[in-house]
Structure 1
Amino acid sequence: MGEFQNKELYQKTFADEEKQAKFLRWRVQFLERSIRKLDFNPGGTCTIFQVSNLKNSLGPGKHELRIANKQALQMLQDNYPEFVAKQVFINVPWWYLAFYAMISRFLTHRTKSKFVFASPSRTVETLFK
């Protein structure tokens, strides 16, 4: 997501609703291609482990990017429930961690177990773990 620090690229991708819809379609297609690679045979891989790098993607002016990613993940959860085994967020800013800490008490243990958040100082350690 850090590539969207480039203002020209961000504008080309999210300038209007049509471009935002095109990005959303691409994001959903990416998720669906991942799902097609799953193997539901005994012993096969039947869940997704997804890593999202939030470096430079949550600052001011990135509202459209956050909405598009949220919509794509919601579509994945609505149409392919339980396919995401873990969602790891790396390079998470402190304020995002604080926000998650506040809302996490309202989430079920099962839902919380699917998410991992790592601040920039803990990103490498988290990925190795």
Structure 2
Amino acid sequence: MSDFNRNIGQRLYQYRTAAGFSQEDFAAALNVNISTYKNYESHKVRLPLETAAAAAEILGVSIDKIVKGDMKIETQIKDLKESVSEEIKRVENEKKPKNMVFDRVQLERVRSACDTLERCLDRKNK
């Protein structure tokens, strides 16, 4: 699949999680099978225009934001920090981590980088 379709899947994920929907709940709201929805996000299947329009309506964003993207960098950084924090908690709670891609130190570095980016953006916006 093209980068264009991959980006649509990534944006769909970003807006869905920002709105607080699980994949299951969002698939149900779109009236599609969960495996089909997961394929949209993982860019294995093209997102039909009708589904993109329905997703935009449910998420309260324009279809352009899903198709073209328009998420502010501040929102992206916030989302990344939240994901990293959740992953750190998961790593801390596991006694014997399985298939761990990142260790706690690496995750802390990512979170620190996000903090630095936020400070830079705050200075730029003042």
State TM-score, norm by structure 2. 0.28
State which structure, 1 or 2, has the greater radius of gyration over its C-alpha atoms. 2
TM-score normalised per structure 1: 0.28
Higher strand share: 1
